[in-house]
């Protein structure tokens, strides 16, 4: 177990209920896809291919965003929302979380929630009408976005909080099991054989491997598993004339990335999605910055490498090319309650995690659990977390005290009434981070998670502009 002081909690691991401004109205959408037919769209995608010379990854920047499969029911945030807010036009990569790697003697890829993924006919198309054909739900929305934005690449993230890490461990341990897992994942998610008689070719353009987390005994096997995925994707690409994308999500915690041969693993993939968040966790007893760009001697834990710059320098030193490093940026904040207002609440003892607030910020949510949650609450529904949407409202409270840490490049919020403290990103810290990406010639950035931004997609929009 990692000691609490360096727990580096992951937003992926939150057990939750369950990527600007070009807006496409319903009338325009009706003209572009009259009487939207998913069957015709799938036919289009099955024949659409990138020229053969695209076997090499593009040199331009990456701006990716994770979409949470399970969040649709409570938040109402769907693939259509990405189009209506203009976000879809700004993303280069849409990362769907998560696909499952099953445990047991013969691990294989599986859809974590088939109802949300492709069976839910209540999820509507961008024009507000039901999808036709056999594919509904989030996957139908992905296919619609891909038709509207041919440059958008879609990845299925495997693992994360879905399923059991034992599936990765077992499948990576032998050549036969590695071949079987990669083949099953490609068959399901890239070739689009969703179920008997249900086909969605062209659904995903590749994978984001999110094994949380390899142990020391898995170090060589992790690289070997990536190599097998790369080999089979390249073999498929030779027959289709397309380049299929392979990435992996990598931790910020030094104790966890020590179990990955970063240089060898990076050689197998197009780029890495490297965490830049949750350097502090709400179950810790002292407040701290959760996504600071820089370290600071003022931090009692400054020797624990709890800043993005620490992570970047460690990865580059380990042999990861800057051109394959994408920086993770959170669209949520981390919070504690029972906090002194000294030093604006930063580096202070905390009694407990911050409560789940109503999304309007006026009061705590009547229910503090994901089980039968009250309507109108922060959509993460987890004490200690708040979406940017909710933080925007909390900042408008009369008892809100905002402070920006210029040394670490991060924002904080202190609520005097409840003695609640949050650490989060704002437009100033986003500008500092995107400038850092340019300065160090990193590949780009990604966000966790798209549905956590405010209704105007303010932070997502700022990141996209900063990466230009």
What pLDDT, in 10s, does the model give residues 75-123?
999 999 999 999 999 999 999 999 999 999 999 999 999 999 999 999 9
Strand-pairing partners, residue 419, are none
Given pLDDT bands bounded at 50, 70 and 90, which one contains residue 59? Answer: low
pLDDT at 163: 62
Q: In whole angstroms, what is the distance from residue 213 CA to residue 258 CA? A: 11
In a domain, 456, yes or no: no
- Domain coverage including residue 32: 4-275
Where is average pLDDT lowest: 18-32, 390-404, 413-427? 18-32
Phi, psi (deg, nearest 5) at residue 59: -90, -10
Q: In sequence order, which residues have a C-beta less than 8 Å from that of residue 351 and are 6 or more positions away?
A: 336, 337, 338, 339
Q: What is the pLDDT of residues 295-341, one digit of tens each?
A: 999 999 999 999 999 999 999 999 999 999 999 999 999 999 999 99
pLDDT at 369: 87
Q: In whole angstroms, what is the distance from residue 393 CA to residue 400 CA? A: 10
List the CATH number of the domain containing 255: 3.20.20.80
Given pLDDT bands bounded at 50, 70 and 90, which one contains residue 38? Answer: low
Q: In whole angstroms, what is the distance from residue 24 CA to residue 127 CA? A: 10
pLDDT at 164: 80
The DSSP call for residue 405 is E
Given pLDDT bands bounded at 50, 70 and 90, which one contains residue 44? Answer: very low
pLDDT at 433: 98
The mean pLDDT of 132-154, rounded to a whole number, is 97
pLDDT at 8: 46
DSSP, residue by residue, 82-129? HHHTT-TTT-SEEEEEEEEE--SSS--EEES-HIIIII-TTS--TTSS
The mean pLDDT of 390-397, rounded to a whole number, is 98
Is the pLDDT at 155 greater than 70? The verdict is: yes
Is the pLDDT at 11 greater than 70? The verdict is: no
In a domain, 331, yes or no: no
Cα angle for residues 253, 435, 85 (degrees, 5° grid): 90
Q: In whole angstroms, what is the distance from residue 28 CA to residue 37 CA? A: 16
pLDDT at 7: 41
In a domain, 126, yes or no: yes
Q: In whole angstroms, what is the distance from residue 246 CA to residue 59 CA? A: 15
Peptide bond into 28 cis (omega under 30): no
Q: What pTM does this model have? A: 0.89
Given pLDDT bands bounded at 50, 70 and 90, which one contains residue 48? Answer: very low
In a domain, 337, yes or no: no
In a domain, 443, yes or no: no
Sign of CA dihedral 345, 349, 351, 354: positive
Is the pLDDT at 34 greater than 70? The verdict is: no
Phi, psi (deg, nearest 5) at residue 421: -125, 135
Is the pLDDT at 16 greater than 70? The verdict is: no
**Within a 13 Å sphere around the CA of 41, how many CA atoms are in the beta-carbon half?**
28
In a domain, 350, yes or no: no
Q: What is the pLDDT of residues 223-240, one digit of tens each?
A: 999 999 999 999 999 999
Q: Calculate what percentage of the chain has a pLDDT beyond 90.
A: 85
Is the pLDDT at 24 greater than 60? The verdict is: no
Question: Residue 251: left (phi > 0), alpha (psi -120 to 50), or beta?
Answer: beta
Is the pLDDT at 405 greater than 70? The verdict is: yes
The mean pLDDT of 131-136, rounded to a whole number, is 96
Given pLDDT bands bounded at 50, 70 and 90, which one contains residue 161? Answer: confident
Where is average pLDDT lowest: 146-150, 366-370, 437-441? 366-370
Given pLDDT bands bounded at 50, 70 and 90, which one contains residue 60? Answer: confident
Cβ atoms within 10 A of the Cβ of 122, count?
A: 10
Q: What is the mean pLDDT of the chain?
A: 89
In a domain, 156, yes or no: yes
Domain count, the chain: 1
Q: In sequence order, which residues have a C-beta less than 8 Å from that of residue 95 and are 6 or more positions away?
A: 19, 64, 65, 66, 67, 154, 155, 156, 157, 208, 273, 446
Q: What is the pLDDT of residues 166-220, one digit of tens each?
A: 999 999 999 999 999 999 999 999 999 999 999 999 999 999 999 999 999 999 9
The DSSP call for residue 53 is G
pLDDT at 162: 65
Q: In whole angstroms, what is the distance from residue 255 CA to residue 250 CA? A: 12
In a domain, 399, yes or no: no
């Amino acid at each position: 177990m990692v000691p609490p002081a360096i727990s580096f909690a992951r937003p992926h691991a939150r057990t939750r209920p369950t990527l600007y401004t070009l807006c496409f109205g319903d009338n325009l959408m009706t003209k572009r896809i009259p009487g939207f037919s998913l069957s015709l769209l799938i036919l289009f995608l099955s024949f659409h291919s990138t020229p053969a010379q695209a076997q090499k990854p593009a040199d331009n920047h990456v701006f990716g965003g994770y979409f949470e499969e399970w969040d649709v029911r409570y938040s109402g945030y769907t693939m259509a929302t990405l189009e209506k807010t203009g976000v879809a036009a700004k993303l280069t990569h849409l990362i769907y979380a998560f696909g499952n790697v099953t445990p047991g003697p013969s691990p294989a890829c599986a859809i974590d929630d088939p109802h949300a993924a492709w069976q839910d006919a209540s999820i509507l198309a961008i024009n507000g009408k039901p999808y036709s054909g056999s594919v509904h739900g989030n996957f139908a929305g992905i296919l619609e976005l891909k038709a509207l934005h041919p440059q958008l690449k879609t990845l299925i993230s495997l693992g994360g909080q879905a399923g059991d890490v034992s599936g990765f461990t077992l499948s990576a341990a032998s050549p036969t099991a590695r071949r079987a897992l990669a083949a099953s994942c490609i068959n399901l998610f890239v070739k689009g054989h969703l179920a008997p008689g249900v086909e969605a070719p062209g659904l995903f353009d590749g994978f984001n491997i999110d094994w949380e987390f390899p142990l020391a005994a898995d170090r060589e096997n992790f690289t070997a598993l990536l190599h097998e995925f790369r080999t089979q994707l390249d073999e498929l690409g030779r027959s289709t004339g397309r380049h299929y994308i392979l990435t992996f999500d990598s931790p910020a915690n030094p104790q966890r990335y020590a179990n990955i041969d970063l240089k060898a693993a990076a050689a197998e993939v197009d780029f890495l999605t490297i965490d830049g968040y949750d350097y502090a966790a709400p179950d810790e007893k002292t407040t701290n910055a959760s996504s600071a760009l820089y370290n600071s001697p003022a931090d009692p834990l400054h020797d624990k490498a709890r800043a993005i710059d620490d992570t970047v320098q460690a990865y580059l030193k380990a042999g990861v090319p800057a051109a394959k490093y994408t920086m993770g940026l959170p669209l949520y904040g981390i919070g504690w309650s029972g906090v002194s207002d000294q030093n604006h609440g930063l580096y202070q003892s905390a009694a407990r995690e911050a409560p789940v607030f109503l999304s309007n910020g006026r009061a705590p949510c009547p229910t503090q659990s994901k089980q039968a949650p009250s309507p109108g609450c922060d959509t993460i529904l987890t004490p200690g977390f708040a979406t940017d949407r909710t933080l925007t409202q909390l900042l408008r409270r009369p008892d809100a005290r905002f402070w920006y840490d210029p040394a670490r490049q991060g924002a904080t919020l202190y609520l005097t009434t409840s003695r609640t403290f949050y650490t989060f990103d704002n437009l100033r810290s986003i500008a500092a981070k995107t400038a850092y990406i340019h300065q160090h010639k990193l590949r780009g950035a990604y966000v966790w998670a798209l549905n956590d931004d405010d209704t105007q997609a303010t932070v997502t929009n700022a990141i996209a502009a900063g990466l230009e």
